[in-house]
Structure 1
Amino acid sequence: MDTDPAIQCSDCQACCCQLPVRVLPGDAPPEHFLDEDEDGYLIMAKADDGWCVALDREQMCCGIYEQRPFVCREFAMGGGDCAEVRDDWRRIALSLR
């Protein structure tokens, strides 16, 4: 998988932490971080403002990193999905100015 080394989580606004995350069999995030979507699937819960409840807001990183779901583990820092979400995030932010 190609990644862009210039993209680092440490200088990101954690925009991936607003994406919906389905919890798959074998994932083991703490139960108090889970919710159910309209189809009955387990998902990572969101706070009232739309951010993942596992996001450590002070450090802008995952508060359950070692227990994060497969979807989050596969969302590689600097990978194609990451770059695309960051570009979309910037585009939306610029359009709101």
Structure 2
Amino acid sequence: MCGAPVQGHNLPSGVDAEKETVITGKVVNQDGTAVGGAYVRLLDSTGEFTAEVVASGSGDFRFFAAPGSWTVRALSNAGNGQATVAPESNGVHEVNITIGA
């Protein structure tokens, strides 16, 4: 059984988005349909692996990170994709990943 937290757009109770840097988003295919079950990896500015979660059935994912430059990469049976995000401060920062075949 995976110990990853439940994913979704709603933050868990007790999380103060003004004190945390949250990277959240959705994995979608090229027509915008959600892709659930994708492995979503968080890579730092040098490309080093930092964390991984499994996207929810509705394609949602979430990471708690630090301000800086990040790459978010999705790997799935339907294809792979990636996006970059560079939060400069705490708060919720959304980035969607479109996968291709």
TM-score band by shorter chain is under 0.3
More helix by share: 1
More strand by share: 2
TM-score (norm 2): 0.22
Query: Which structure has the larger Rg over C-alpha atoms?
Result: 1
